[in-house]
A and B are shown apart, each in its own frame.
Chain A
Amino acid sequence: MSKELRSNFHEQLTEIRDGIAQMGAGVTELVPRATQILLDGDLEAAEYVILGDNEYDAKAVELEERCFSVIALQAPVASDLRSLVSAIKIIADIERSADLCVNICKAARRIYGHDLDPSLRGVIQKMGNQARVLFKESTEAYLNLDGPRAAALHDMDSYLDDLQRQFIQVIFESHAAGTIDLQVAVQLAVVARFYERIGDHAVNVGDRVRYIVDGWVPEHPYAESDNDPPEIVDGVIVPAGQS
């Protein structure tokens, strides 16, 4: 019997994966758009991105419902079960990343009219690029179920974390030099955080891709019994076994 059994069910899985990949591709484009809006102070475009977020929310709910329905009706097992459980989590990561792009656009509205000096613009551009690359890689790793590609996301995210530290440093310097006021400095620090979070969501997606591929789960540092977590004694954190 060479004919594929349960082809209907497997088609449903493919449709769900395509839907999620589309959302991921959308956010991959949304990140550079939000960056450009922030750098250009483009209020009209910011408004479009903010309104467009409803679409991501609706799509996320729809895809989640489809996952629930397939789990309820098809009793998935093995890789099918892993891919559906992961899909539900990946949907949330992508949807949250779209929210973060919206937050960047809202920050653009708050700092409208304030000039940003070249060093700030440079580091914003770099963070935007790196966050976009992370999201693009995570989406493609998901679409192709490419474990090694997904595993590389951790290193790419380290660079984004470095950029965030640089960004904060530049914000301090610009504020000290008087080129931005405190309100703008605070907004930009939050923006740095948004990019960093987008990177984290991309890494989560990558981890879930690895789980789908071969059941890989991140190692927990205290999983071994001889490596107990630190304890809290009288409100102070001390290493295990020393209390």
Chain B
Amino acid sequence: MSDSPQATHAGTGSAVESDPNAPVDLPNRIDVNDLNIYYGAFKAVADVSMTINPQSITALIGPSGCGKSTFLRSLNRMHEVIDGAYVEGSVVINDKNLYGPGVDPVAVRRKIGMVFQRPNPFPTMSIADNVLAGKRLNSKRLSKTEGAELVEESLRGANLWNEVKDRLDKPGSSLSGGQQQRLCIARAIAVSPDVLLMDEPCSALDPISTLAIEELMLDLKRTYNIVIVTHNMQQAARVSDRTGFFTIEGTGKPGKLIEMATTEKIFANPAMQATQDYVTGRFG
């Protein structure tokens, strides 16, 4: 693997190295091309190009305000819930540009699920209904047995089944924070998405629940393409296969992707000085 900064894109200041081991033609690979994200006149993220491999975990790290969460949200058009948000460039998955004409953002979000920073189960809904909420929103009629099967399958997938199987009719808010987050993951995978986006999924959790979610992510990556934004660099190091480092030059400037490489390289021998400074805590 070449360490040379020759991979640096002239003008953009980003070094996106090609990984020779990257799976090339598997389904659900995401290709981001020259993405610029705007909130009205404000350019929040500039010139991001990256490939996100399927069946792997990609971590996005960087200081606050560097645009990593905005970038993550742009991957399922979730940032568009803010008025005036728009993008230039393309996000291509399975030969389809998410920002192509006529693409329904709701359909995009069904295929690309998201788990948020704070666990947000519907507090009065039962555990089982929480799991099915997404499926029902997508106007799918489910028979009782189908529903029960999907609840069990999704909760098993989220590694929560054994803890809640005897109280599926209790409200979702009766669970601990870590269990609630796994319930949200169960809800996200119940609609069988292709990609799972996670926006700081463990920042509101205690260390043991955090490790439980990380272990779950390592299980889930066999099936899903996972992208995670995290402030916890150790978490990125522990779970991800590839890591992208975002930063900004100053307030009001857009966030940029500085370096993207295998996680091992980012944490052992990054190509860019800015990455080195950030992961070693000399800047941030």
Give A contacts to B, CB under 8 Å.
1, 3, 5-9, 68-69, 72-75
Contacts and interface: CB of A to CB of B under 8 A. Distances in A.
A3 B211 contact: no
B238 A69 contact: no
A75 B234 contact: yes
Contacts of B7: none
A82 B53 CA distance: 35
B263 interface: yes
A8 B163 CA distance: 22
B208 A74 contact: no
Secondary structure of the A contact surface, majority rule: helix
A41 B202 CA distance: 65
| Minimum-distance CB pairs A-B, first 9 | A5-B211, A73-B237, A72-B268, A72-B267, A75-B234, A69-B264, A8-B218, A5-B215, A73-B267
B212 interface: yes
Interface in B176-233: 208, 211-212, 214-215, 218
B208 A73 contact: no
Contact of A5 (B163, B212, B264, B268): B212
A229 to B, nearest CB: 37
Contacts of A6: 211, 214-215, 238
Contacts of A68: 268
Nearest to A68: B268
Interface of B: 159, 163, 208, 211-212, 214-215, 218, 234, 237-238, 263-264, 267-268
B211 A72 contact: no
Contacts of B264: 69, 72-73
A7 B159 CA distance: 14
A116 to B, nearest CB: 50
B208 A1 contact: yes
Nearest to B267: A72
Nearest to B240: A73
A69 B218 CA distance: 18
Nearest to B179: A1
Contact of A72 (B212, B214, B237): B237
Choose among A1, A74, A75 the residue with the greatest number of B CB atoms under 10 Å from its CB. A1
Contacts of B214: 5-6
A1 B212 CA distance: 9
Contacts of A74: 237-238
Nearest to A1: B212
A96 to B, nearest CB: 25
Contacts of B234: 75
B58 to A, nearest CB: 15
A173 B162 CA distance: 77
A228 B211 CA distance: 48
